Amino acid sequence: MSVVLACDLGGTSFRAALVDREGEARATHVIQGPTTRDRLGWSEIDPADWWRALIEAASALREAEPTLFSKIRAVAICGVTRTQVFLGRDGEPLRHAITWRDARAERSVDALSATLPQDHPERAQINAFHPLARLAWLRDEEEACFRRVTTILDPKDFLNFKLTGQRASDPISMARLAAAAAPAADGRSLLDAIGAPRSILPELREPTADVARIRDDLPAPFDSLAGVPVICCSTDTWAAVAGLGALQDGFAYNISGTTEVFGVMSEERGFADGLMSVDWRGLFQLGGPGQNGADTVAWLMSLLHPGDAISPPPVAARLDALLSARRDPQPLLFLPYLQGERTPYWDPSLRGAFIGLNRAHGAGDLAWAVLEGVAFLNRVVMERAESALGRRVSEIRFGGGAASNPIWRQIKADICERPVVTPVAPEPGLLGAAIVAWTGVGEFLTISDAQHALVKATRRYEPDPTRAAAYRKLFDLYRRSESALAAISRDLAALARQSGALPGVHGPLFTFGD
């Protein structure tokens, strides 16, 4: 029996598995972290931590299944995007990677936009999370580093580079940077406008194409895999959508891990305000990544159980207990913007809120509101995509850690008023990476063929008409709450950037300006 080594570099964990030709994970290893270095508006990580995680995970798999490990036919790594690794000429990272959460470029976006070619099609997409804005920030704040950047890679591309020595990526992962590198009618690109060479864009290859073969000078356990092909693969979202079987026209996908990602697949390209329209190699994705999601549940548990160690099993058990408690007749609303929001608002200054609290509300009411608030945002994205495409999605394929909770599955079905389907595979990202690897080595002709052969759907949750009608009314209040509180959120975020003293137990935090 031969296998592929499939890896999923996520926001808060690194997962690896040996997956056979039937899509079965024969051995799996999960590493929590690496830990991001976060503070107000900042989020960075040392790329070397990802390399150490890959070595640790692969070593654990070889120890668990030495015979299978020796029969690896290919390696495929999917991973988080909207995260930039800056390489110098020698191939070493010039600084810590800037992660998807980082909002430092927010303050300079307006000034940046004013300097860009007015007729460039990518100009309207520039926001604090765009790679061009991150590059402009680097130019303004760390000019010496900016001048030394020769290549920008996504995290999974960095690992592929470490394995092979080849700097490459795929058109999905690099969609925004590639668009910024493309010339407008006058021949200027957005990269030209900020003084960055177009050569910082790596060579782009199809997700199922080889990057190169594993080098022969690597540490264990990769010393035993010299010559094995490394497949380019793509983002963790794209791979997980393949692992859900949702790379099909008319399907929606919802990946709920640390953060939510929601989108609609279509053979025709559509455009909608705040949604990313990306060519997913034969299908178009209309949607994008959020900034909040299942991690919001962990945040709630940390408030309700301060000081306790939070890990997936206790979070799941505590959530079940909260959801089984009696619910107050008056529902709560929750705006889930604890870290700002990307799709569809692209506003780092949005903030979360519980709305409608009364004295009878308990912890269970808060839990219901958190799950519903995230699902309401899913519906916002879905409705924008459907309106742009002119048709309804047929079903939502739901995966990630949150998909293990049957109550959340039903909430999403009732709020979105579409069937929600979950797969057998508990890790769609790993299965998707395996699908890419097996296609890359020629076991399947296309990703679509591999998806139909290896993805096995399981439970289907139909919308309940009574609950859907009630949620329709609550959704209207949710939208009104978003509009009413957006300006207040921005003002609160602005206060945190001012100097001064707000009294606290541990001394002054900041002061309000005049």
Average pLDDT over every residue of 366-372: 97
Residue-level pLDDT at 293: 83
Q: What is the mean pLDDT of residues 185-202?
A: 94
pLDDT of residue 37: 84
Given pLDDT bands bounded at 50, 70 and 90, which one contains residue 514? very low
Q: Can you give the pLDDT at residue 185?
A: 85
Mean pLDDT of the chain: 92
CATH superfamily, domain at 3-234:
ATPase, nucleotide binding domain (3.30.420.40)
**Mean pLDDT for the stretch of residues 430-434:** 97
> Model confidence over 170-193: pLDDT tens digits?
999 999 999 999 998 888 999 999
pLDDT, tens digit, 9 for 90 and up, residues 72-111: 999 999 999 889 999 999 999 999 999 988 989 988 888 8
* DSSP code of residue 153: E
Confidence of residue 502 (pLDDT cuts 50, 70, 90): low
Res. 312: pLDDT tops 50: no
Q: What is the pLDDT of residue 401?
A: 83
**Is it the case that residue 198 has pLDDT exceeding 60?**
yes
**Structural tokens at position 157:** 């591309």
Query: How much of the chain exceeds pLDDT 70, in percent?
Result: 95
pLDDT at 510 over 70: no
- The residue whose two tokens read 């380019």 is 232
Tell me 185's DSSP state: T
Whether the predicted pLDDT of 400 surpasses 90: no
pLDDT band at 511 (very low <50, low <70, confident <90, very high): very low
pLDDT at residue 311 greater than cutoff 60: no
Q: Is the dihedral of CA 238, 210, 131, 293 positive or negative?
A: positive
Q: Please tell me the distance from the alpha carbon of residue 334 to that of residue 477, in angstroms, as a whole number.
A: 11
Question: Residue 434's Cα: distance from chain center in Å?
Answer: 19
Is residue 288 a contact partner of residue 344, using CB atoms and an 8 Å limit? yes
- Taking residue 506's Cβ as centre, other Cβ atoms within 10 Å add up to 5
pLDDT score of 251 more than 70 = yes
For residue 344, say if its preceding peptide bond is cis, omega within 30 degrees of 0: yes
CATH architecture group of domain 246-330+358-483: 2-Layer Sandwich (3.30)
Identify which of 94, 105, 95, 207 has the alpha carbon closest to the alpha carbon of residue 160. 207
Rounded mean pLDDT, 421-437: 94
pLDDT at 499: 56
pLDDT value for 513: 45
Q: What is the pLDDT of residues 11-37, one digit of tens each?
A: 888 999 999 999 999 999 999 878 788
Q: Which residue has the higher pLDDT, 201 or 124?
A: 201
Which residues belong to CATH 3.30.420.40 in the chain?
3-234, 246-330+358-483
Counting residues of the chain whose pLDDT is more than 90, the rounded percentage is 78
What confidence score (pLDDT) does residue 507 get?
Answer: 53
pLDDT at 307 over 70: no
Q: Which tens digit of pLDDT belongs to each residue from 139-161?
A: 999 999 999 999 999 999 999 99
pLDDT greater than 50 at residue 512: no
Of 14, 101, 22, the residue nearest 58 (C-alpha): 14
